[in-house]
Homo-oligomer: A and B are copies of this chain.
């Protein structure tokens, strides 16, 4: 990996550049044009990583469930052990007397990560779930 900064020039209509500079300012006082362009480029690249089912990606699965309902905690745990090669780590939060938040970090091909997410989200007793699609950081 080479993280050396390379400089290249971009052409933009003057109006668009003025609007872009205002966007840069809104993104935070210490930010500059290059940083915001790097963000936009990375977002586009990560979207593409996920569209290729064989690309290695990182995802985090956020789930809320009622731990009194149908032994969902036990079953979630069993299912996670089946996929121990893709599941890096799990964070668990007791939201109240009934509800649990479980956040699972996954790493594998985007196809595998999506399939595991579907299996976990399809479990009886899971109230809500969402897959967050990020990256190993290697190519961005």
Number of residues of chain A lying within 8 A (CB) of chain B: 73
Q: Is the CB of B19 within 8 A of A8?
A: no
Residue A81 at the chain B interface, CB threshold 8 Å = no
Q: Is the CB of B41 within 8 A of A12?
A: yes
Partner pick for A128 among B31, B35, B105, B135, CB 8 A cutoff? B135
A residues sitting closer than 8 Å to B (CB atoms) are 1-17, 19-20, 23, 26-28, 30-31, 33-35, 37-38, 40-46, 48, 58, 60, 62-66, 88-89, 91, 93, 95-96, 98-99, 101, 103, 105, 107, 122-124, 127-130, 132-140
Top 7 A-B pairs ranked by shortest CB distance? Answer: A99-B137, A40-B40, A28-B122, A91-B91, A2-B14, A62-B132, A11-B34
